[in-house]
Amino acid sequence: MRAIEINDGLILTDLPAPELKEGEVLVKVHATGVNRGDLLQAAGHYPPPPGASEIMGLECAGEIADPGDTGRAKGEQVACLLAGGGYAEYVAVPEGQLMSIPQGLSTTEAAAIVEVACTVHSNMQLAGLKAGDTLLIHGGAGGIGTFAIQYAKALGVTVAVTAGSQEKLQLCEELGADILINYKEEDFAEVMKNKCDVILDIMGAKYLEQNIKALAMDGHLVIIGMQGGVKGELNIGRLLTKRGSISATALRARDLADKARIVADTEKTVWPMIADGRVKHQLSTTVPLDQAAEAHRLLKEGEVTGKIVLTVA
Amino acid sequence: MRAIEINDGLILTDLPAPELKEGEVLVKVHATGVNRGDLLQAAGHYPPPPGASEIMGLECAGEIADPGDTGRAKGEQVACLLAGGGYAEYVAVPEGQLMSIPQGLSTTEAAAIVEVACTVHSNMQLAGLKAGDTLLIHGGAGGIGTFAIQYAKALGVTVAVTAGSQEKLQLCEELGADILINYKEEDFAEVMKNKCDVILDIMGAKYLEQNIKALAMDGHLVIIGMQGGVKGELNIGRLLTKRGSISATALRARDLADKARIVADTEKTVWPMIADGRVKHQLSTTVPLDQAAEAHRLLKEGEVTGKIVLTVA
């Protein structure tokens, strides 16, 4: 099968199709989402968990080419959460990581929403986000942000976002964001001081001190990215005064049972929000699989709003 | 009424008895527990929350002298969680912070267990501690530690403790601790590396890095004291690899509804553990109220295991 290999760049090559293990189906990939984790893996910083495919690609949509021992129907269209392997014509997927295609979406659009939906929903559940809360989302115009704004508004949450340009903030506003902060012009910690019940953070160390300042009483900071560094000073005294919590999470290394639980719960909660229009896909750009390097360049440069998807079949 | 005032030392003085607000009862104090928060308040570092008594004392037991508008019976024996005011003959207590005297305990023994029981139970609930987990308790021989060991064993948890002497570790072992670590001789982070589902910490900054190392996957560090400093370096990368969480909490500043919920839940969960002998009080020393300064000295020097209680009436 055709697949992208990391070999002094991203090279389209011919590889053997994956062999199915117990409880897995073979999916013929129509489209696969591009995530920051793929950039990290291409740079050698994010090795796949033990037993996972060495190929990049954390989500895809397509059709079942071989149902293995699962009793699924050949040809069934599915969206898939992957531990890896999406940048290829075929991928082996544990049955617990299969979702239906959300009503009204194409497979290409579906491939843009699996990872963000599972990531945002599982983390907001961890943080106990609920109607009436105030949520701060960093990078509101990115793949995670554009989804998280709509998801939180559907839950009845007040949403604040940070972004680096007026254009990006305008997109956030169109998606429903209530409070718009240009981080190049304002200190978000001052604007949101003691106000945030939950913060969804992709910056890590660089924002740690400001995020703690922005937390409300019993607030919860959830860190899912470290674009601003790994090590930061934590003021435990300030955290204690607020009875605050910090969690740092990632989806990829979770075990099969944990992923199956998250996938089922995300489908149950988020897919209806898509079906009735409260949450719209944020697919912004499609790029053919053989131009994966160009897709990575677009994401790295940070000028894309929403998601980039590689089209395969 | 007689009460202890902070005035260039701890001085027994005469103060007006407190006036009751709506929903409060007046309790005639028999005994009041001594906590590290009292030491901090005496040193000027832990002011009472707005509206609370200026007098020290975070827990007591005694009898209802005036039921106010609550419909309680005059003379009823009660144990009380306080925002302050225990170092006195009388204290006003919101009804939601009244508990029964645990079966088999004297009022003096009950005054030694309210704060630790509410603190440990509420924090272990926050951390999701459950049977089969491994819990690391720092300061295993102290007031919090001696209670937490027994509480966790009653839940079916594997308990590791740190302490600074063989004698203290032996007490921890007698209370049920499974893994004994003398922090002067061993690095607890090496002994417990990647093993702790929950850590109950009183050291703050000094132990932050080691605590993160000791966390297991999905582990939760709960910080309830900062005897080792306020600001520490947090390795977010390591926390994320483990999908770890950190919470820092305190009981005193919680609002009335929150305290009432914790008090009711603690009585329901912990009092039966005391009644059937799974958890024993750890009252080690009683000191008359007028010698409060001596009680503080004993706690500060750190040579006491278990709890110190001031006897009032």
Longest dimension (CA), chain B: 57
Count CB-CB contacts under 10 A for residue B101: 22
CATH of domain B2-113+252-311: 3.90.180.10
Query: How far from A268 is each of A162, A273, B186, B201, B276, CA to CA, in Å?
Result: 29, 9, 49, 38, 44
ipTM of the complex: 0.92
CB atoms B243 and A233 under 8 Å: no
Q: Is some CB atom of chain B closer than 8 A to the CB atom of A83?
A: no
CA-nearest residue of chain A to B247? A245
Condensed to tens digits (0 to 9), the pLDDT of residues A107-123 reads: 999 999 999 999 999 99
What per-residue confidence (pLDDT) applies to B65? 98
The Cα B46–Cα B49 span in angstroms is 9
pLDDT computed for residue A160 by the predictor: 98
Buried b (16+ CB within 10 A) or exposed e, A207-237: bbbbbbbbbbebbbbbbbbbebeebbebbbe
Asked if B180 and B171 touch (Cβ cutoff 8 Å), the reply is no
Dist CA B32 CA B289 (whole Å): 9
> Which pLDDT does position B236 carry in this prediction?
97
Q: Using CA atoms, how far apart are residues A118 and A37, in angstroms rounded to an integer?
A: 15
Say which residues have a Cβ less than 8 Å from residue B86's Cβ, sequence separation at least 6: B29, B32, B33, B55, B56, B57, B58, B59, B60, B80, B111, B310
In the prediction, which pLDDT does B46 show? 85
pLDDT of residue A284: 85
From first to last of its 313 residues, chain B has per-residue pLDDT tens of: 999 999 889 999 999 999 999 999 999 999 999 999 999 999 998 889 888 999 999 999 999 999 999 999 999 999 999 999 999 999 999 999 999 999 999 999 999 999 999 999 999 999 999 999 999 999 999 989 999 999 999 999 999 999 999 999 999 999 999 999 999 999 999 999 999 999 999 999 999 999 999 999 999 999 999 999 999 999 999 999 999 999 999 999 899 999 999 999 999 999 999 999 999 988 889 999 999 999 999 999 977 788 999 999 7
Distance between CA B197 and CA B243 in Å, rounded? 11
Instruction: Please name the residue of chain A whose CA is at the shortest distance from the CA of residue B248.
Output: A240
Cross-strand pairs, B205: none
| Cβ-based contacts of B236 with chain A (< 8 Å) | 204-205, 208, 223, 226, 229-232, 248
Q: Looking at the partner chain, which of A231, A239, A241 has a beta carbon nearest the beta carbon of B236?
A: A231
Contact predicate A134/A156, CB 8 Å: no
The answer to whether A236 faces chain B, any CB pair under 8 Å, is yes
The residue count for chain A: 313
Q: At what angle do helices A143-154 and A166-175 cross, to 10 degrees?
A: 30
Q: CA-CA distance, A144 to A147, in Å (whole number)? A: 5
DSSP per position, A181-228: EETTTS-HHHHTTTTEEEEEES-GGGGHHHHHHHEEEEEEEEE---TT
User: Angle, to 10 degrees, between the axis of helix A114-126 and the axis of helix A143-154?
Assistant: 60
Asked if CATH classification 3.40.50.300 holds for the domain at B117-248, the reply, yes or no, is no
Residues B303, B297: Cα–Cα separation, whole Å = 10
Kindly indicate the confidence band of residue A46, based on its pLDDT and cuts at 50, 70 and 90: confident
Considering only CB atoms, which chain A residues are within 8 Å of B247?
A: 243-246
For chain A, give me the number of helices (H) and strands (E)? 10, 16
What ranges do the domains of chain A cover? 2-113+252-311, 117-248
Rounded Cα distance, B78 and B62, in Å = 6
Q: What is the pLDDT of residue B256?
A: 94
Q: What is the mean pLDDT of residues A170-177?
A: 97
User: At B283, which helix (H) or strand (E)?
Assistant: strand B283-288
Percent of chain A with pLDDT over 70: 100
Distance from CA of A254 to the nearest CA of B (A): 9
Question: Hey, of A126, A209, A238, A245, which one would you mutate to test binding to chain B, going by the most B CBs within 10 A of its CB?
Answer: A245
Is-contact A122 A247, C-beta < 8 A?
Answer: no
Q: Supply the DSSP string of B24-74, one letter for each residue.
A: EEEEEEEEEEE-HHHHHHHTTSSPPPTTS-SS--SEEEEEEEE-TTS-PPT
Whole-angstrom distance, CA of residue A18 vs CA of residue A171: 40
Mean pLDDT of chain A: 96
**Structure tokens of B153?**
């064993």
Rounded to 10 deg, the angle between the A256-275 and A143-154 helix axes is: 70
Q: Cβ neighbours of residue B40 under 8 Å, at least 6 residues apart? A: B46
Dihedral sign, Cα of residue A87, residue A93, residue A97, residue A98: positive
